[in-house]
Amino acid sequence: MKLSKSEEKLMDLIWSNQPLFMKEILEIHPEPKPAPSTVATLLMRMQKKGFVGFKLYGNSRQYHALVEKPDYFSGQVNTIIKDFFSDSPLQFASFFTKKANLSTRELEEIKELVETEIKRRKK
């Protein structure tokens, strides 16, 4: 499931600082700060989508992530690969290495990452 851009901004705050009360979310949110009612609505939608949970302390809710950031990011990348690259990670990698304006050093670092992963999988 996908988050809206506004929901992703809130999730980034939660991932980086959890657990958080709504008051804390509003304090650390960058300018322009959304209205408290907007944050409450976004948090409710994120709960319904299964991304955020909370613990109740009196009348206050302390929010925490139910989905880890790497898992969300991986899902989004897989969706891009499926939707735009015929479900082919190889086509995605080819496009990325040719069109991302990577430096030679960055390409060498990617090559090292791939070689390390190949060695790890062969063990």
Tell me, yes or no, whether 100 and 54 share the same domain: no
Q: Which of 54, 48, 39 is nearest to 7 (CA)?
A: 39
Look at residue 55 and tell me if it is in a domain. Answer: yes
Tens digit of pLDDT at every position of the chain (123 positions): 789 999 999 999 999 999 999 999 999 999 999 999 999 999 999 999 999 999 999 999 999 999 999 999 999 999 999 999 999 989 998 998 888 888 999 999 999 999 999 999 998
Look at residue 73 and tell me if it is in a domain. Answer: no
Look at residue 32 and tell me if it is in a domain. Answer: yes
Look at residue 44 and tell me if it is in a domain. Answer: yes
DSSP H or E run through 25: helix 22-28
Look at residue 77 and tell me if it is in a domain. Answer: no
Q: Please state the φ and ψ torsions of residue 46, each to the nearest 5 degrees.
A: -65, -35
Look at residue 101 and tell me if it is in a domain. Answer: yes
What 65-73 contacts at long range (C-beta under 8 Å, 24+ apart), as own/partner pairs, is 65/11, 65/14, 65/15, 65/18, 68/15, 69/11, 69/12, 69/15, 72/3, 72/11
Look at residue 71 and tell me if it is in a domain. Answer: no
User: How many domains is the chain partitioned into structurally?
Assistant: 2
Which residues are paired to 54 by β-bridges?
Answer: 63
Sign of the dihedral through C-alpha 109, 111, 114, 120: negative
- CATH code where residue 29 lies: 1.10.10.10
Which residue segment(s) compose the domain that 49 sits in? 5-65
Tell me, yes or no, whether 12 and 53 share the same domain: yes
Sorted by sequence, the CB contacts under 8 Å of residue 40 that are 6+ apart come out as 22
Look at residue 110 and tell me if it is in a domain. Answer: yes
Considering the entire predicted model, what is its pTM?
0.77
